[in-house]
């Protein structure tokens, strides 16, 4: 090689081609994944065969033979594992749904308080956030479980208004007694909401046609509150509360939440609210003061500035991370297994211990959580596409 | 008249603007009582504090028992029983590690704290310092925990416990997880469809399930994956499970950083003739990691808090050890004090780390801000 020759077409090796290399890498990766998968499968198969465990999901249709403390559906120990897993899933969804509602309310309140011009309120809110964000949620749940377990007995409960009782038996609270008029009231409410939406649309069309804004908020509120209210009053305003009463060792009447439910709920709500508060704060602060000033100088009044200018922009920042907080709340509810609340993981764990079907049991749990997560993310993506800035 | 004031004032003011002095009353008016709503909120909050604080201070400080030889003194006191901490600190902090060997754990923790403190000083952000430091520190910690040489008795990982176990889990999670997370993030951004598909599937599957189920897999299912006779210890399995979980979240953060790198950076690197790995290591990653530093620190803090979840698979970290101590019927009624102590340990670490990360963020963005 005395002299360097200029490269010519066809001189470069195929090994230097990016496309060829990419192809080889991908084939290697696919082969690696396949071999690893096959190897693991073979090992599992062999190990299970040696231990004499029958693989498959037949165990779901055997009778469970254990009880769970609480369930939204009726359950007896003679029923199938599939039904007890369903009961566990419903418990997970129950505590998550209540938790999401309460965490949102608390989180938004604290988040708004953090940007308050009131020094004391802002300070208290930031102490709340720093304290509860920096302590592991499992520790918080275990702590609240211990607190609830050490509450006074049901004979001397902590009572609010003589109708809500908190004791080491959990929380007991009144519910309205059912009345035949209630379905009609709910129906009227739904119709009124639909009517309000229709009216809002008409008002917008009217504004676009004439330039004059019809009042929307108050007529809508009047419709939504008024229509069901009239029907309710017409039926004689029936409202009777079924208050829990201590009979013997337990409460009768009203509704109750178990101590474990209360502990998991408090832990999830307090922890998640701290994160939501931070998201809300950054969302509000992300809207520039210039936006507010511009809206004011256009002549919009306070409420309208908030509704038409600040909130739409803040929500674009707030909603995506809040949804992922909701998802992590649902996933964190699996920590209930540590204190014996019969959620999906706790029930699944007992099932695994009883049947020995570890692979199938954990696969079922993971699959269910995965489906929940993917469903919520899918809705999230749709929402994001709707609120994303429409660039022209 | 107003239009003449501004240029006039500007021309003359080389001096800094006068400092506005506000009296306490004026401050209160501006920050506590501006408007009827704020005044009302201030009054309500102040009333709440007025009723809640004195009993709390009495319980936590004035009437509290700080040191007691037995639980008897605590039972008679009306305040908090902090004595549970000095009384039970060894099983709480060190778990079931052999009692006579606890000094080794203290040495290990000291090495760890020193190594972390040195690492966090920006002046030492150099591979030549950090890498040897951690190799040295981890060797020392491993030596102290395991023993088995230099006349130290061997202690099996099944006996490790308390704060050192939390430390081991946390360090292992981050050290194993960070490289995986970078690879996953790069894979997800890859132009090769197979690589991208594998990474996306892996990341989304792990992110979709709770950590508890991954720990169950590591504790219960993973031994079934291994051929007969091969056994990996439980601590390491749990650590790998946590590292993978950590890596999948971190990968999404790093992907955010990668997406923020302008196209021109890639093109410039390619124009210089750099290959993929050179370009990634020298040009892209340093910028991407700097951009997403706050997110990375958030997940590192979360990883520290998540170590507590090993309670569910029965490893003796500080939380499990404390719960075990509280099984003692003599002291179980003082659970509030014991758990508050553990919460304080977590809080101090997480809070310090998050404050540090804020400071670092400011430092790194200096000269880049407008």
Q: Using CB atoms, which residue from B205, B221, B306 is nearest to A358?
A: B221
Q: Using CB atoms, which residue from A43, A130, A365 is nearest to B351?
A: A130
The number of CA neighbours under 13 Å toward the Cβ of B102 is 12
How far away is chain B from the Cα of A229, in angstroms, using its nearest Cα?
Answer: 31
Please answer whether residues B166 and B318 qualify as being in contact, where contact means their C-beta atoms are separated by less than 8 angstroms: yes
**Contacts A263 to B, Cβ<8 Å:** none
What pLDDT sits at residue A333? Answer: 92
CB pairs below 8 Å between A and B: how many?
Answer: 151
Q: Which token pair is A278? A: 């931070």
Tokens 């307090």 belong to residue:
A270
What pLDDT sits at residue B209? Answer: 92
- Cβ–Cβ contact A139 with B under 8 A: yes
Contacts of B198-203 spanning 24+ positions with Cβ under 8 A: B198/A29, B198/A33, B199/B251, B202/B248, B203/B248, B203/B251, B203/B252
Least confident stretch, A253-267, B27-41, B182-196 = B27-41
Q: How confident is the model at residue B182 (pLDDT cuts 50, 70, 90)?
A: very high
If you average pLDDT over every residue of chain B, what do you get? 82
- The residues pairing with A71 across neighbouring beta strands, listed in sequence order, are none
Please answer whether residues B346 and B305 qualify as being in contact, where contact means their C-beta atoms are separated by less than 8 angstroms: yes
Cross-chain residue pair B311–A134, CB shorter than 8 Å: no
Q: In whole angstroms, what separates CA A184 from the centre of its chain?
A: 30
How far away is chain A from the Cα of B21, in angstroms, using its nearest Cα?
Answer: 18
Nearest to A256 by CA among A172, A186, A313: A172
Q: Using CB atoms, which residue from B191, B209, B343 is nearest to A135?
A: B343
What pLDDT sits at residue B20? Answer: 67
Across chain B, the runs of DSSP E, i.e. the strands, are none
Q: Which token pair is A215? A: 């009042």
Q: What is the mean pLDDT of residues A250-268?
A: 85
For A136, nearest residue in chain B (alpha carbons): B305
The phi, psi pair for B65, rounded to 5°, reads -100, 120
Cross-chain residue pair A345–B193, CB shorter than 8 Å: no
Nearest to A385 by CA among A294, A334, A320: A320
What pLDDT sits at residue A83? Answer: 83
Nearest to B188 by CA among B261, B251, B246, B277: B251
pLDDT in tens, A357-367: 888 889 999 99
The answer for residues whose C-beta is within 8 angstroms of residue B148's C-beta and 6 or more apart is B154
What pLDDT sits at residue B134? Answer: 85
How far away is chain B from the Cα of A363, in angstroms, using its nearest Cα?
Answer: 9
Cross-chain residue pair A334–B308, CB shorter than 8 Å: no
**Contacts A358 to B, Cβ<8 Å:** 220-221, 224
- Cβ–Cβ contact A20 with B under 8 A: no
pLDDT in tens, A141-198: 999 998 888 887 777 777 777 778 888 788 888 877 777 778 888 888 899 899 888 9
What does the alpha-carbon distance between residue A8 and residue B238 come to, in Å, rounded to a whole number? Answer: 56
What pLDDT sits at residue B3? Answer: 46
Q: Name the pairing type of β-strands A170-173 and A255-257.
A: antiparallel
Q: Using CB atoms, which residue from A27, A44, A117 is nearest to B34?
A: A117
The answer for residues whose C-beta is within 8 angstroms of residue B134's C-beta and 6 or more apart is B115, B119
Q: Which token pair is A317? A: 């920042």
CA dihedral of B191, B195, B196, B198, whole degrees rounded to 10: 170
What pLDDT sits at residue B367? Answer: 58
Nearest to B298 by CA among A86, A384, A328, A45: A328
pLDDT in tens, B291-336: 888 889 889 999 999 999 988 888 888 888 888 888 877 777 788 8
pLDDT surpasses 80 at B231: no
**Contacts B306 to A, Cβ<8 Å:** 136
Q: B321 or A250, which is more confident?
A: B321
Q: What is the mean pLDDT of residues A65-71?
A: 75
The number of CA neighbours under 13 Å toward the Cβ of B24 is 0
Q: What is the mean pLDDT of residues A211-228?
A: 82
Least confident stretch, A227-231, A290-294, B265-269 = A227-231
Cross-chain residue pair A150–B335, CB shorter than 8 Å: yes
How far away is chain A from the Cα of B341, in angstroms, using its nearest Cα?
Answer: 11
Q: Using CB atoms, which residue from B46, B211, B350 is nearest to A120?
A: B46
For A146, nearest residue in chain B (alpha carbons): B335
pLDDT surpasses 90 at B144: no
pLDDT surpasses 90 at A140: yes
Q: How confident is the model at residue A388 (pLDDT cuts 50, 70, 90)?
A: low
Q: How confident is the model at residue A135 (pLDDT cuts 50, 70, 90)?
A: very high
**Contacts B343 to A, Cβ<8 Å:** 135, 139-140, 143
Least confident stretch, A346-355, B12-21, B106-115, B153-162 = B12-21
Cross-chain residue pair B45–A131, CB shorter than 8 Å: no
List the single best residue of B166, B229, B308 to mutate versus A (max A Cβ within 10 A): B308
Q: What is the DSSP string of B84-99?
A: HHHHHHHHHHHTTS-G
Cross-chain residue pair B228–A46, CB shorter than 8 Å: yes
Give the ipTM: 0.85
Q: How confident is the model at residue B4 (pLDDT cuts 50, 70, 90)?
A: very low
What pLDDT sits at residue A390? Answer: 63
The number of CA neighbours under 13 Å toward the Cβ of B269 is 17
- Cβ–Cβ contact A337 with B under 8 A: yes
pLDDT surpasses 80 at B74: no
What pLDDT sits at residue B338? Answer: 86
Please answer whether residues B257 and B186 qualify as being in contact, where contact means their C-beta atoms are separated by less than 8 angstroms: no
Say how many residues make up chain A: 392
For B343, nearest residue in chain A (alpha carbons): A135
What pLDDT sits at residue A389? Answer: 65
The answer for residues whose C-beta is within 8 angstroms of residue B117's C-beta and 6 or more apart is none
Q: What is the DSSP string of B283-345?
A: IIHHHHHHHTHHHHHHHHHHHHHHGGGGGGGT--BHHHHHHHHTTSTTTGGGHHHHHHHHHHH
Q: A1 or A51, which is more confident?
A: A51
**What percent of chain A lies above the pLDDT cut of 70?**
94
What pLDDT sits at residue A228? Answer: 82
What does the alpha-carbon distance between residue A316 and residue A271 come to, in Å, rounded to a whole number? Answer: 23
What pLDDT sits at residue A10? Answer: 55
Q: In whole angstroms, what separates CA A255 from the centre of its chain?
A: 23
Angle between helices A81-114 and A119-133 (to 10 degrees): 150
- Cβ–Cβ contact A143 with B under 8 A: yes
Q: Using CB atoms, which residue from B205, B221, B226 is nearest to A362?
A: B221
Nearest to A215 by CA among A226, A225, A202, A227: A202
Q: 3-class SS at A175?
A: strand
End-to-end CA distance of chain A: 59
How far away is chain B from the Cα of A182, in angstroms, using its nearest Cα?
Answer: 37
**Contacts A22 to B, Cβ<8 Å:** 191-192
- Cβ–Cβ contact A366 with B under 8 A: yes
Nearest to A259 by CA among A333, A342, A332, A331: A342
pLDDT surpasses 60 at A8: no
What does the alpha-carbon distance between residue A329 and residue A134 come to, in Å, rounded to a whole number? Answer: 16
Q: B120 or A97, which is more confident?
A: A97
pLDDT surpasses 80 at A299: yes
How far away is chain B from the Cα of A351, in angstroms, using its nearest Cα?
Answer: 13
pTM: 0.85
Q: What is the mean pLDDT of residues B357-370?
A: 71
pLDDT surpasses 50 at B370: no
What does the alpha-carbon distance between residue B199 and residue B173 come to, in Å, rounded to a whole number? Answer: 19
Q: Which token pair is B44? A: 């309500």
Q: 3-class SS at A242?
A: strand
What does the alpha-carbon distance between residue B193 and residue A279 come to, in Å, rounded to a whole number? Answer: 35
What pLDDT sits at residue B225? Answer: 81
Cross-chain residue pair A120–B323, CB shorter than 8 Å: no
Cross-chain residue pair B209–A117, CB shorter than 8 Å: no
């Amino acid at each position: 090689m005395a002299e360097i020759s200029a490269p010519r077409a066809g001189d470069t090796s195929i090994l230097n081609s990016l496309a060829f290399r990419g192809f080889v890498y991908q084939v290697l990766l696919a082969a690696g994944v396949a071999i690893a998968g096959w190897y693991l499968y073979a090992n599992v198969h062999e190990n299970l065969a040696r231990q004499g465990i029958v693989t498959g999901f037949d165990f779901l249709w055997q009778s469970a033979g254990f009880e769970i403390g609480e369930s939204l559906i009726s359950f007896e120990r003679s029923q199938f594992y599939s039904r007890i897993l369903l009961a566990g899933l419903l418990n997970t969804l129950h505590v998550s749904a209540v938790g999401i509602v309460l965490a949102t309310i608390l989180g938004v309140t604290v988040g708004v308080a953090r940007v308050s011009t009131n020094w004391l309120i802002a300070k208290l809110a930031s102490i709340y956030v720093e304290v509860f964000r920096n302590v592991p949620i499992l520790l918080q749940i275990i702590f609240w479980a211990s607190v609830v377990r050490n509450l006074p007995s049901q004979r001397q409960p902590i009572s609010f208004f003589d109708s809500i009782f908190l004791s080491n038996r959990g929380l007991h609270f009144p519910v309205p007694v059912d009345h035949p008029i209630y379905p009609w009231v709910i129906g009227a409410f739904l119709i009124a909401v639909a009517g309000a939406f229709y009216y809002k649309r008409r008002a917008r069309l009217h504004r676009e046609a004439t330039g004059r804004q019809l009042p929307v908020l108050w007529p809508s509120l009047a419709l939504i509150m008024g229509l069901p209210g009239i029907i309710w009053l017409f039926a004689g305003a029936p409202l009777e509360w079924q208050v829990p009463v201590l009979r013997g060792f337990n409460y009768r009447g009203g509704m109750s939440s178990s101590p474990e439910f209360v502990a998991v709920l408090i832990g999830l709500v307090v922890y998640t609210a701290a994160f939501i508060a931070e998201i809300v704060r950054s969302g509000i602060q992300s809207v520039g003061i210039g936006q507010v000033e511009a809206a004011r100088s256009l002549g919009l009044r306070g409420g309208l500035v908030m509704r038409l200018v600040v909130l739409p922009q803040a929500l674009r920042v707030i909603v995506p991370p809040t949804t992922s907080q909701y998802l992590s709340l649902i996933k964190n509810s699996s920590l209930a297994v540590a204190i014996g609340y019969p959620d999906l993981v706790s029930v699944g764990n007992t099932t695994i211990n009883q049947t020995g079907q570890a692979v199938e049991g954990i696969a079922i749990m993971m699959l269910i959580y995965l489906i929940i997560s993917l469903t919520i993310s899918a809705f999230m993506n749709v929402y994001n596409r709707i609120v994303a800035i429409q660039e022209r | 008249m107003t239009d003449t004031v501004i240029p006039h004032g500007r021309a003359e003011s080389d001096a800094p603007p006068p400092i506005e002095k506000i009296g306490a009353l004026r401050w209160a008016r501006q920050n506590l009582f501006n408007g009827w709503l704020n005044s009302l909120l201030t009054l309500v909050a102040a009333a709440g504090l007025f009723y809640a604080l004195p009993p709390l201070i009495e319980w936590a400080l004035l009437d509290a028992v700080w040191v007691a030889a037995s639980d008897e003194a605590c039972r008679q006191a009306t305040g908090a029983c902090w004595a549970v901490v000095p009384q039970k600190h060894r099983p709480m902090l060190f778990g079931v590690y052999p009692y006579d060997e606890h000094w080794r754990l203290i040495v290990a923790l000291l090495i760890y704290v020193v190594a972390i403190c040195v690492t966090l000083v920006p002046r030492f952000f150099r591979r030549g310092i950090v890498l040897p430091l951690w190799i040295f520190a981890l060797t020392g910690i491993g030596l102290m925990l395991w023993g088995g040489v230099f006349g130290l008795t061997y202690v099996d990982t099944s006996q490790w416990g308390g704060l050192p176990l939390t430390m081991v889990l946390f360090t292992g999670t981050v050290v194993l997880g960070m490289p995986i997370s970078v690879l996953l993030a790069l894979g997800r951004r890859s132009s090769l469809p197979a690589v991208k598909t594998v990474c996306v599937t892996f990341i989304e599957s792990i992110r979709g399930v709770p950590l508890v189920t991954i720990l169950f897999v590591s504790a219960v299912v993973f031994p079934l994956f291994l051929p007969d006779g091969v056994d990996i210890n439980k601590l390491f399995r749990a650590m790998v499970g946590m590292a993978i979980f950590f890596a999948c979240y971190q990968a999404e953060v790093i992907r955010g950083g990668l997406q923020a790198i302008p196209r021109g950076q890639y093109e410039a690197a390619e124009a210089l003739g750099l290959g993929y790995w050179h370009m990634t290591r020298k040009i892209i990653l340093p910028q991407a990691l700097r951009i997403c530093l706050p997110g990375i620190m958030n997940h590192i803090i979360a990883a520290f808090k998540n170590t507590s979840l090993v309670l569910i698979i029965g490893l003796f970290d500080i939380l499990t050890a404390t719960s075990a101590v509280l099984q003692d019927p003599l002291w179980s009624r003082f659970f509030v004090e014991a758990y508050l102590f553990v919460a304080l340990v977590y809080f101090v670490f997480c809070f310090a780390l998050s404050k540090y990360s804020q400071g670092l963020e400011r430092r790194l963005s200096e000269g880049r801000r407008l």
